[in-house]
Each structure stands twice: as structure tokens, then as C-alpha cells.
Amino acid sequence: MTELTAGRNIVVGVDGSEASMAALRWATDQAHALHAEVVAVHAWEPAGPRLAPYAPASARPTVTEERVEASRLLAETLREVFGARIDSAVRAVVKEGPPVRVLLGSAHDAVLLVLGRTAHGQGERPAIGAVGRECLRHATVPVVAVPVGERPASPLRAVRTEPLPSRGVA
């Protein structure tokens, strides 16, 4: 890819899950075909409200520690997907805020918003989570929900070339 076209981004929600890794792989393939850039977005929120008020102060991570952890998670996910050399069409972004708001804001003028989903719901979990449902509901751009591969596709078989027997007309 020689030059990325300005404004032609494919935004991918990345949370470290297998589903988000599948979405990132798919989006990267599409970006090459469309001469676009992939913007891998990881949204994070401060943990403050999720901890009990009586939790000791030492148990509470600082905002800086949480930001560093969010960046680490995104970097590890990119390494898992691409190996040591990250695709040149991919830009990593860590943003503080609710995931739905961050993803929809990041994808406001993108070509696509790409999210991962589990294969037809695994166990008790639905195929697409609350963040994905809200993104589907409120997005102003097309949303693609990429499934985690359940099993490799079966190879194509030879097509029968001999004519089918004719049926007699009564």
C-alpha cells in the first residue's frame, strides 16, 4: 500500500478477546482492498465506581495505571494478531470513555465500524454483547460483526458434470 486515502478509515473495536482479534484481521484485509486505514480502538473507563467504597486505597489503581494497562492490552492484542511487525495500515488508539460512545465517535466519518462477535452465542453468552448491540442500534456508518471462526471451512468438492437423468412427463 503506497498511500492511505484521508478519511477512509475502518474503525475496529478491540478488547483483547478472540472475537475482536477476528474483527481486526478481517478489517485489515478489507483495508488493503479499499486502500483504507484501520483504526484499532480500545476504550477504557476508570475503575473507581466498580470498586466497593470500603475497598482499601491500595486496591484502587490510579488513572495513569489504568491508562497504561489499557495501552498494554491493545499492544498485546496487536502483537497477537500481527506478530512482531504490525501491519502498516493499522493505527492503534486508546481512548478514555464508555466503549459505545468512544466507538461511535471514532467511527463517525469512517467507512465501516467492525466489531467481533462469538459464534452464535457460546453457552450462556449472546453472540453480540451490549456494546455491539448499542453500536448496531446507533451507528451512522455500516457495522460489520465478524464471527470468531468455529472451524475451518470445508474444502470445495468437485462439481458433478454429467447431466441429471430426465424425468418422464406423464
Residue pLDDT, tens place only, 138-167: 999 999 999 987 544 444 444 444 555 666
Nearest residue to 141 (alpha-carbon basis) of 114, 106, 112, 115: 112
- As a dihedral over the C-alpha atoms of residue 106, residue 108, residue 113, residue 117, rounded to 10 degrees, the angle is 70
User: Phi/psi zone of residue 153: left (φ > 0), alpha (ψ -120 to 50 degrees), beta?
Assistant: beta
pLDDT digits (tens, 9 = 90+) for 56-108: 777 678 889 999 999 999 999 999 999 989 989 999 999 999 999 999 999 99
Q: What is the pLDDT of residue 129?
A: 85
What order do you get walking across the sheet with 112-117 strand by strand?
Answer: 90-96, 37-44, 9-13, 112-117, 143-147
Statement: residue 2 has pLDDT above 70: no
Residue type, 93: V
Q: What is the pLDDT of residue 123?
A: 59
More confident residue, 63 or 7: 63
Q: What is the pLDDT of residue 7?
A: 63
Q: What percent of the chain has pLDDT over 90?
A: 59
Compute the distance between CA of residue 105 and CA of residue 65 in angstroms, rounded to an integer.
Answer: 24
Q: What is the pLDDT of residue 120?
A: 58
More confident residue, 23 or 57: 23
Statement: residue 168 has pLDDT above 50: yes
When the pLDDT of each residue in the chain is averaged and rounded to a whole number, the result is: 83
Helix 130-138 to helix 99-106 angle (10° resolution) is 40
Nearest residue to 99 (alpha-carbon basis) of 144, 140, 129: 129
Q: What is the pLDDT of residue 154?
A: 44
* Mean pLDDT on 6-10: 78
